[in-house]
Amino acid sequence: MKKIRMLLAVAGVGVAALLSAVPASAAPADATGAVPAASAVTTPRATQASDSCWLEVAEWNSGLLNAIDCEAWAWAEWRSDGSRPELFAIAANRTVWHVWPGGGGWQLMPGNKSADDIINGTRPDGTRAWWWSGSTRNISIWVSGGTGYWCTSDSGRGWSGTWRDC
């Protein structure tokens, strides 16, 4: 399994120091996941959270994602031999992102679903946030209020973008 580098910085001075230490080519993503222009590297955008957590998989050249918190991610090993890993995370603006080897960096999950958390382990019922159902891959996220868990699937042609109550 690849290591996920998590950079935790307190908003304000900590974030500014983090941004100034990162070269423009690897600038942290803002709350939307977009990489800011080089001129914006030393002027971080404020987030509503008091802390920021930046997630990166360096071996994949993923770039950095400003996560909603340092536990809001799930590592999926789609094949038991480790040949198809994928990382899912919730950004500070509640959008759902994923990254995988050769994917070109963080990609917004289809369907524009907002989320508050994703379980990076097992859920209270003992299940994981990601699983196979026959030949279909599935991922679940947590949304505060309402029904809680929402899922989307990939039957082999890419993530559907359809989120359903699960």
Q: Read out DSSP for 68-135?
A: SSTT-EEEEESSTTSSSEEEEEEBTTSBEEEE-TTS-S-EEPTT--B-SB--SSB-TTS-BSEEEETT
Q: How far is CA 47 from the centre of its chain?
A: 16
Instruction: Give the pLDDT confidence of 99-135 residue by residue, as tens digits.
Output: 999 999 999 999 989 999 997 777 677 778 899 999 9
Q: How many CA atoms lie within 13 A of 14 on its CB side?
A: 11
Q: Kindly list the distances between the CA atom of residue 165 and the CA atoms of 36, 112, 118, 156, in Å, as whole numbers in the listed order.
A: 34, 15, 14, 21
Query: What pLDDT is recorded for position 136?
Result: 95
Higher-confidence residue of 47 and 116: namely 116
Q: Kindly list the distances between the CA atom of residue 50 and the CA atoms of 4, 15, 73, 113, 142, in Å, as whole numbers in the listed order.
A: 22, 11, 19, 23, 21
The range of the structural domain enclosing residue 51 comes to 5-165
Closest CA to 153 of 144, 142, 164, 74: 164
Q: How many CA atoms lie within 13 A of 111 on its CB side?
A: 20
Domain count, the chain: 1
Name the pTM for this structure: 0.70
Q: Mean pLDDT score of the chain, rounded to an integer?
A: 73
| Residue 43: pLDDT band with limits 50, 70, 90 | very low
Top mean pLDDT of 41-55, 74-88, 111-125 is at 74-88
Residue 144 pLDDT exceeds 80: yes
Residue 65 pLDDT exceeds 80: yes
| Residue 9: pLDDT band with limits 50, 70, 90 | very low
State mean pLDDT over 46-56. 59
